[in-house]
């Protein structure tokens, strides 16, 4: 039922409905009554008492999401002797709940929240959220958080707690659970960060079981037992934890007194707690030793693979870095013998390889410090990770004068060279501009060719890796590279051109010119007015000396060549 209605058929509040039922409403006598609270609804009770006057067979109060019950008094709800079975489900309870009867009470998925939460618990600082003095009470999937007076106090009855969280409850003593009598079984529940003593047992019998955990920190009081009370822990514990049981059973018995730190104990580093079998949870050895290639911190359930740069022997609690000068390139290494030698061009520290920076080189293996990286020579540069000095290349406008793989000396490129666009030039590869020449690729003495003003037409071409134009060689590329006299160097063309039949014609023409000039000189020698003409003829004659000399040289060379050929034929 969603609620009761009054005589005017108007819906009653939950408070009115419960008061009507508690006065023995005949209409619902012997019936199972279910009250449903709508989502996000807030309801106020005024110190409601449920006892033998409640004549229904069972009372259920079920809430949709975020529905809450609060009280105008200090006690929200009190269940006394004679009350029928009661079920509270999905509620946020803002007030103290007191259970005194021998009835059956089920509290499921309910929240008893902190004073700072949106639905503030209205208890005083000394009152616990849930007081159980008798009956059979089952609590499941509940949350007790930040309660200023503590969470639960049990003075009698039979209490079973399942999958419930006790978090940051703040009572000065016994912050989460206080037991003075009765039987309490706690299943698969967690106690975290509660102030004071997490669990205080003065009387009765308490059994912690099925993965229940007390998490308080190493120096905090988790459990205090006195007055002959009994507290035991029954395995299984959560994975990664153990209880030190020496009698071969699966039950750990706490001794009377104070117990500090978390319980069950965390499996120590170097072992794996991946089994819930009793044999694997009753000693610090837990399930097994951490396997080689992995490391296991405290409480490990799944071992972690050894990372790059380190190795992990069996039983490792943490990775061990490869020794200085070595590098671990693969994961899950099992010994330092599997670490690789640090290569040239790098240094290795803590198992990690670091390439030497740009403009340095490192020619040795197994180096462990950046000091091993040597700087390239002045005006040279290299890529990161360079392994030899030969990797250091001269920058633009400079060339390597030494031209030795084992050394570098960068000098500014001489006039006539063309090394401003690219880096890495050596003496052997020094590029020259058209119009410049050097004796060999091992010479740094660059000369300007006589025809340098001709630009690309210069015999000193310096194109496609060739110093001279085709058919030319020698100083300034002004000698033809043939020995058969078939070509001669033409200064006007800055090239070696073919002779063909033009040589004889040129010689005859030159001879004719000389004869004419000589005739004019003879004629003018007997006539005085020819003085100016004689001077002109004389200058013309002088200009024929160089061509005449070249022709004579040509024919001498050709004659010598023919003579050599005849001797070869005779031989």
pLDDT single digits (tens) 157-166: 999 999 999 9
Quick one: average pLDDT of 233-244?
97
pLDDT for the residue numbered 349:
96
In contact, 425 and 442? CB cutoff 8 Å: no
d(CA 347, CA 357): 11
Q: What is the pLDDT of residue 560?
A: 40
User: Cis peptide leading into 264, omega within 30 of 0?
Assistant: yes
568 φ, ψ (degrees, to nearest 5): -65, -40
What pLDDT sits at residue 66? 83
pLDDT at 188 over 90: yes
In the chain the first and final C-alpha atoms are separated, in Å, by 138
- The pLDDT confidence band at residue 558, using thresholds 50, 70 and 90, is very low
Residue 559's pLDDT is 45
Of 325, 326, 328, the residue nearest 307 (C-alpha)? 328
Helix axes 531-543, 502-525, angle to 10 degrees: 160
At residue 117, the pLDDT reads: 43
What is the residue whose two structure tokens read 């870095």?
Answer: 321
CA angle, residues 144, 150, 156, in degrees to nearest 5: 95
Enter the tokens of residue 68: 């809450």
**Percentage of residues of the chain with pLDDT beyond 90:** 61
C-alpha to C-alpha distance for 152 and 138, rounded to whole angstroms: 13
| Cα dist from 479 to 447, 451, 544, whole Å | 16, 14, 22
Average pLDDT, integer, range 98-111: 92
Mean pLDDT, rounded, for 390-398: 95
75 has pLDDT over 50? yes
pLDDT (tens digit, 9 = 90+) per residue, 532-548?
Answer: 655 665 666 565 565 55
Smallest Cα–Cα separation from 420: which of 394, 439, 440? 394
Q: Comparing 269-278, 347-356, 453-462, which segment has the lowest mean pLDDT? A: 453-462
SS in 3 state form for 486-551?
CEEEECCCCEEEECCCHHHHHHHHHHHHHHHHHHHHHHHHCCHHHHHHHHHHHHHHHHCHHHHHHH
pLDDT at 405: 83
Q: What is the pLDDT of residue 94?
A: 87
pLDDT at 126: 66
Q: Which of 315-329, 448-462, 494-508 has the lowest mean pLDDT?
A: 494-508
| Residue 142 dihedral angles phi and psi, to the nearest 5° | -105, 165
Per-residue pLDDT at 182 exceeds 80: yes
Q: Which of 139-153, 385-399, 488-502 has the lowest mean pLDDT?
A: 488-502
CA-nearest of 393, 369, 397, 367 to 382 is 393
Rg (CA), the chain: 54
Name the least confident of 99-108, 236-245, 331-340.
99-108
Give tens-digit pLDDT for 307-328: 999 999 999 999 999 999 999 9
Sequence-ordered list of residues with C-beta below 8 angstroms from that of 248, at least 6 positions apart, any chain: 282
The residues, any chain, with a CB within 8 Å of residue 19's CB and separated by 6 or more, are 48
Query: Which residues, listed in sequence order, are joined to residue 327 by a DSSP beta bridge?
Result: 340
Asked whether the predicted pLDDT for residue 464 surpasses 80, the reply is yes
> CA-CA distance, 394 to 410, in Å (whole number)?
6
Question: What are the two backbone dihedrals, phi and then psi, of residue 305, each rounded to the nearest 5 degrees?
Answer: -60, 140
Mean pLDDT score across all residues of the chain: 86
Shortest CA distance to 94 belongs to which of 131, 65, 123? 123
Lowest mean pLDDT among 1-5, 130-134, 334-338: 1-5
Q: What is the pLDDT of residue 562?
A: 43
Residue 101: pLDDT band with limits 50, 70, 90:
confident
Residue ranges per domain, the chain?
Answer: 14-286, 287-341, 502-570
For residues 251-276, average pLDDT = 96
Exposure class string for 58-93: b at 16+ Cβ within 10 A, else e:
ebbbbbeebbbbbbeeebbbbbbeebbbbbbbbbbb
Judged against a pLDDT cut of 60, whether residue 197 lies above it is answered with yes
* Per-residue pLDDT, 119: 40
Give pLDDT, residue 171.
78
Q: Which run of H or of E encompasses 555?
A: helix 545-570
DSSP state of 474: S
* Predicted local confidence at residue 530, as pLDDT: 58
For range 266-276, the mean pLDDT: 97
Tell me the C-alpha distance between 250 and 571, whole Å: 117
Find, among 277, 205, 270, the residue nearest to 248 by Cα. 277
More reliable by pLDDT, 68 or 370: 370
Tell me which of 119-128, 278-287, 470-479 is least confident: 119-128
């Amino acid at each position: 039922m969603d609620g009761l209605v009054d005589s005017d058929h108007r819906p009653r509040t939950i408070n009115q409905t419960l008061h009507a039922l508690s006065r023995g409403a005949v209409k619902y006598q012997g019936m199972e009554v279910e009250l449903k609270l709508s989502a996000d609804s807030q309801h106020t009770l005024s110190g409601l008492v449920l006892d033998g006057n409640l004549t229904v067979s069972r009372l259920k109060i079920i809430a949709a999401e975020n529905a809450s019950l609060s009280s105008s008094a200090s006690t929200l709800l009190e269940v006394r002797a004679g009350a029928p079975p009661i079920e509270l489900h999905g509620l946020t309870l803002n007030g103290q709940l007191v259970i005194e009867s021998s009835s059956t009470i089920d509290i499921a998925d309910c929240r008893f929240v902190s004073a700072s939460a949106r639905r503030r618990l209205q208890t005083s600082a000394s009152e616990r959220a849930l007081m159980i003095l008798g009956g059979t009470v089952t609590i499941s999937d509940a949350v007790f958080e930040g309660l200023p007076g503590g969470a639960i106090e049990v003075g009698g009855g039979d209490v079973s707690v399942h999958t419930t969280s006790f978090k940051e409850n703040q009572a000065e003593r016994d912050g989460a659970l206080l037991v003075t009598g009765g039987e309490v079984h706690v299943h698969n529940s967690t106690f975290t960060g509660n102030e004071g003593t997490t669990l205080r047992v003065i009387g009765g019998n308490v059994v912690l079981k099925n993965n229940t955990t007390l998490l308080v920190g190493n120096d905090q009081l988790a459990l205090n037992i006195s007055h002959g009370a009994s507290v035991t822990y029954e395995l299984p514990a959560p994975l990664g934890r153990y209880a030190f049981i020496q009698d071969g059973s699966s039950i750990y018995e706490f001794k009377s007194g104070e117990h500090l730190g978390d319980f069950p104990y965390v499996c120590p580093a170097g072992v794996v707690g991946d089994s819930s079998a009793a044999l694997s949870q009753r000693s610090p050895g837990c399930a097994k030793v951490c396997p080689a290639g992995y490391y296991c911190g405290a409480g490990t359930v799944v071992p972690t693979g050894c990372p790059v740069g380190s190795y992990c022997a069996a039983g490792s609690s943490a990775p061990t870095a490869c020794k200085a000068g070595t590098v671990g390139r693969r994961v899950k290494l099992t010994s330092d013998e599997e670490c690789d030698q640090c290569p040239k061009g790098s240094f290795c520290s803590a198992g990690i390889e670091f390439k030497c920076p740009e403009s340095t080189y490192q020619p040795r293996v197994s180096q462990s410090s950046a000091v091993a990286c040597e700087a390239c020579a002045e005006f040279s540069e290299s890529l990161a990770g360079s392994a030899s000095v030969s990797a250091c290349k001269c920058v633009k406008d400079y060339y390597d004068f030494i031209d030795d793989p084992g050394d570098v000396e960068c000098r500014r490129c001489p006039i006539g060279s063309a090394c401003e666009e690219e880096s890495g030039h050596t003496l052997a590869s020094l590029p020259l501009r058209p119009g410049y020449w050097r004796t060999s690729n091992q010479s740094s003495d660059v000369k300007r060719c006589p025809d340098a003003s001709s630009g690309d037409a210069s015999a000193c071409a310096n194109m496609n890796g060739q110093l001279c134009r085709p058919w030319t060689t020698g100083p300034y590329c002004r000698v033809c590279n043939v020995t058969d006299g078939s070509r001669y160097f033409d200064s006007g063309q800055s090239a070696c051109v073919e002779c063909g039949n033009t040589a004889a014609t040129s010689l005859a023409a030159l001879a004719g010119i000389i004869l004419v000039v000589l005739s004019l000189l003879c004629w003018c020698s007997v006539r005085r007015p020819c003085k100016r003409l004689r001077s002109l003829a004389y200058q013309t004659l002088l200009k024929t000396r160089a061509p005449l000399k070249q022709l004579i040289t040509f024919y001498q060379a050709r004659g010598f060549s023919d003579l050599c050929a005849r001797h070869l034929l005779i031989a």
